[in-house]
Amino acid sequence: MFNTVLKALLLFFLLLGQSCYADDVLTQIAARLIKTPITQGNFHQQKHLKVLHKPLISTGTFTYDQSKGVIWKTLTPVVSLLLVNESKLLTGQGEQAVPAAFGKVFKAMFGGDLAALSDGFTITGTDRKTSWQLELTPKDDMLKKIIGMMLLSGDSELRNLEIREAGGNVTRISFDNISHPAQLTDEQQADFERLSP
Amino acid sequence: MLVICILGVQALSKDWLETGFLALLPTGEQQPEIAKATRQHNELSNRKVIWLAGAATSEEAIRHAQKLKQQLEQSRLFNKVVLEFPQQYIEQYRQLFPYRYQLLDAQTQTILAANPDRLLQQNLEILSSPIAQMQAGDLERDPALLFSRYFSAQNPVKLNLEQGIVVLSDRHRFWALLLTDLQDEKLQLDKLETLSALVNSATGQVKAAGGELLVSGMPLFTAHGAESAKQEISTVGIGSSLGIIVLLWATFRSVRPLLLSSLAIGSGLFAALVICVLFFGKIHILTLVFGASLIGVADDYAQHFLCDSFGEQDWNPRKGLKFILPGLSLGLISNLLSYAGLGFSPFPGLQEVALFSAIGLLVAWLTVVLLFPLLLTGFTFNHQPGILKLTTYWEQHWPLWLSKNRRWLGLMLAVFIAGGLWKLAPQDDVRLLQSPPPELIRTADKIRSLFPLTPDNQFFLVLGKDQTDWHQNEQRLLERLEALKQQKALTAYEGLSNYWPDANRQQQNYRLLKQQLYGSGLLERYMTDLGFDRTAVQAELKQFAEAEHNILDLSEWLAAVDENKQQLWLGCDGGRCQSTVTLTGINDINALAAVNDLPGVAWVDQVESVSSLFARYRIRASGLLAIAFCLASAGLGFKFGWRNGATIMSVPVMALAVSLAMLGWFDQLFSLFNLFALLLVLGIGVDYGLFFFMAGDRRASTSLGVTLSALTTLLAFGLLAVSSTEIVHAFGFTVTCGIVTALLCAPLIGLKERKI
């Protein structure tokens, strides 16, 4: 079991690393993405765990604020709230350690800063007229043992995220109803407030 | 002397200087188990140095820390430099996995007992969370996430890790944490100097690279104390040597007296040092400071002898010795009596000083009495030193003026002394004795706020006659602490029994699981709902059934957990088991100290207990001072008659009263250590009174001797008063007041006899 925990930890540590230049494709795709300070929408997540013969499905909403972090609100099957920024992570179980670069991965994905992902991954991609797709393979050997590949696809937004773990588990998250409001709602403000020290 | 030299070379060739503050504390005062626990606690904290490398981004902070780590490893000062979170510790914890049904954390227990459905709902929440992998990595082997929960409860404070490094943050910066342990808890002076230099250069380097470095830890405080003490010794040493040289040269216009005085004091010091090191093994740096000062009394003997040569036209050393020997011997005896009293105090520091100064004085006295006559052969003056004229004038006119104005002077003095004594308030807080620079304290506070895991100085000691008894006692304590934590009396506490349930508790946990989850069909439903297949459910139920009689021993548990937890356990021996419960972020110390009433629980507050010890020994030392005073009075009374004895003793009495009054008026620190200074004042006062009493018709030369010795003593102690170390300053201040008073009063003695 602890191998897995350890690996999961490593996953996040290793997303950092030396910086390298972005692909041409990456630049093009990044250029297509809408970049605004606030992004929000719905998510639909399917976790296919090897030991379970049916997927764990959860749905909810997410809010990304460039300077404040991410609100990940699960509505089904149980209501729960996860708040995260670069240095703090709150869940229903209280404050948790922030997996390193966790906030940064979120930021890279929702903030349209794909170049930041190239720190820890080899990225290949296709940029078609209507949609794009990126394949991320970890650079580090240790991380490879945990994550086989990550697939990102979308158009002017990130629409799908698929994480294929080396052990065979797969998580698929799709995003819809994405919008870019100019301001946070009071409720969102209040949630982010809990993250400030 | 030759013997001492040879012994000395041997003794001083090894490491002989002690600088740690704790070495000054008595051991016999405390109950042995508390002393042992305190020692273990101190040994750990005395070695720890915490480093935080800060920068605007976490990557930069980590880079600074990595560079720093290399530097620290190269220094060879540390036996442990931890930057990356040790991962073997996670592996180690896996050994506990087979006992997952017995090891429930407190929260899981509560939820399970009240509402097992809630527990399973929480599991679902965890599983669907984006960080599920971290919290529920092994669903296959641990479907109810029992061990995941237990493991995560092991670290109540969640630390953020990046690249395996703990990264803390405040509003402006990210800080990478580096923990080091010094190789030796004995904190040797040269090691401390290297440490200070290392801290300074590392701080400079990180700063140059655009970052910031915070360093704290007990060794740094000790290093600062040692450094300033060392600096002060050399300042006091150089200052007083220069002053004394000038003074003696002006008086005698010859190098011989100077060399002889130095010989007397030097041989006294050296012998004291050697004997002390031989006797105690090591000598504390404060002993050296105080002891060296006390030996300053030896100067009285040398000056008195030398100045006697001005007393008679056909003076020669043997005749001189014959005349002054009774005075010198009585002076020595009264001083030795005063210092011997210190030896009965249980503070090792005071014992050292007692032996140091007694040996020093004795050897200095022997040098004066045995060697001076030999070395002064053929020594005469053909000059009339200016200072002699001055002291002669002074000796003739000052007492007359005093007695002429005695009415209003006496009244003023009485008011002054009464007022000062009334204002005098003892301060025994041990923290007042150390005066670390505010910068060090600020850094320590800052680190504490960033990294709230550093335990405070105070802790609880939990005892039990066996493991069960101990476990019960500690659990009772932890319950109280939990309540206090809710009331914000402290931010965290750490006790073993919260992580290791005893055999009874383990069985209870198992029964609880059986009743609420495994035996009720709830687990089956939960697993089936999640999507486990039939065989997986059966396998889990089988594993649970097989684990029924598992019991995890404390020793086995300890072997699997991290070092910080292991260190809490003090072991069982002789029908007694004990552990410590550490506390962090104490806000209300009185509320915590009050928890003492539980059975088998002892509150350990070293600062408080040392302070109260200081208070008790201040009182006892006052007694010793009184006894020394009585002994000296009795001795003098026996020798010269009660009336004359009282006359002589009036000098030290006056000196002591004025010293105390001055302490009161100037709001100075008044603690055990001032009493020490008062002992010196007593000794010197007796000397001066005695010398004048026995002067007969040699009042002029006696006056010169007393004045010279007072001036030289003042040069030595007056400089101590400028010290930045509170304790040294208080000492200097007290002695200065006392000596000046003794000098002013002494000429009154023996005056009447001459007139009659």
Instruction: Return residue ranges of chain B for CATH 3.30.70.260.
Output: 47-84+163-217
What is the distance between the alpha carbons of residues B161 and A98, in angstroms, rounded to a whole number? 7
What residues of B are in contact with residue A100 (Cβ under 8 Å)? 58, 160-163, 167
Q: Is residue A187 included in any domain, yes or no?
A: no
Contacts of A98 in chain B (CB under 8 A): 160
Quick check: is A194 in a domain? no
Q: Which of B93, B134, B169 sits opposite A8 (nearest CB)?
A: B134
Cβ–Cβ < 8 Å for B417, B661: yes
Q: How many helices (H) and strands (E) does chain A have?
A: 5, 11
Chain A: closest CA distance from residue B143 (Å): 10
- DSSP reduced 3-state for B645: helix
Most A CBs within 10 A among B133, B146, B538, hence the mutation to make, goes to: B133
Given a cut of 60, is residue A8 above it in pLDDT?
no
Token digits for B468? Answer: 């069960």
CATH code reported for the domain at B458-500+554-604: 3.30.70
**Domain that residue A73 falls in:** 2-179
ipTM, two decimals: 0.81
Angle subtended at Cα B249 by Cα B243 and Cα B252, rounded to the nearest 5 degrees: 135
Overall domain count for chain A: 1
A184 in any annotated domain: no
Domain membership flag for residue A42: yes
Q: What's domain B47-84+163-217's superfamily in CATH?
A: ACT domain (3.30.70.260)
pLDDT digits (tens, 9 = 90+) for B504-561: 999 999 999 999 999 999 999 999 999 999 999 999 999 999 999 999 999 999 998 8
* Whole-structure pTM value: 0.71
Residue A189 lies in a domain: no
- The shortest C-alpha distance from B525 to chain A (Å) reads 14
Alpha-helical segments (H) within B173-284: 189-208, 218-252, 255-280
| Contact between chains at B130 and A8 (C-beta distance less than 8 A) | no
What is the helix (H) or strand (E) element at residue A154, kind and residue range?
strand A147-154
Query: Cβ distance A151 to A145 under 8 Å?
Result: no
pLDDT tens, residue by residue, B67-110: 999 998 888 888 888 888 766 777 788 889 999 999 998 889 99
Give B142's contacts in chain A (Cβ within 8 Å): 1
Domain membership of residue A77 (yes or no) is yes
Residue A190 domain-assigned (yes or no): no
> Is residue A52 one of the residues assigned to a domain?
yes
Q: Which residues of B touch A74 (CB under 8 A)?
A: 125, 128-129
Say which of B137, B140, B162 has its CB closest to residue A100.
Answer: B162
Nearest CA in chain B to A98: B160
Determine the longest span between alpha carbons in chain A, in angstroms.
45
For B690-731, the pLDDT digits (tens) are 888 887 777 888 888 888 888 888 887 777 787 777 777 888
- Per residue in B293-315, pLDDT (tens digit) is 666 677 778 877 888 777 777 77
B283, containing H or E segment: strand B283-284
Residues B175-218: pLDDT tens digits?
999 988 888 766 666 777 888 889 999 999 999 988 899 998 88
CA distance A108 to chain B (A): 16
**A interface residues, B as partner, C-beta within 8 Å:** 1-9, 11, 13-14, 16, 45, 47, 49-56, 58, 72, 74, 77-78, 80, 82, 86-87, 89, 91-93, 95-102, 197
What pLDDT score was predicted for residue B716?
73
DSSP string over A81-118? EEEE-SS-EEETTEEEPPBTTHHHHHHHHHTT-GGGGG
Contact indicator for A174, A160 with CB cutoff of 8 Å = yes
3-state class (DSSP) for residue A76: strand
List % helix, strand, coil for chain B (3-state, nearest 5): 70, 10, 20
Q: Residue for token digits 């100019």?
A: A182
Q: Do A8 and B160 count as a contact with CB atoms less than 8 A apart?
A: no
Alpha-carbon span B589 to B458, nearest angstrom:
9
Section A44-55 average pLDDT: 89
pLDDT greater at residue B4 or residue B53: B53
Is B162's CB within 8 Å of A7's CB?
no
- Out of A2, A9, A89, whose CB is closest to B94? A2
**What is the topology classification, in CATH, of domain B228-433+609-755?**
Multidrug efflux transporter AcrB transmembrane fold (1.20.1640)
pLDDT (0 to 100) of residue B480: 92
Instruction: Work out the average pLDDT over B593-620.
Output: 81
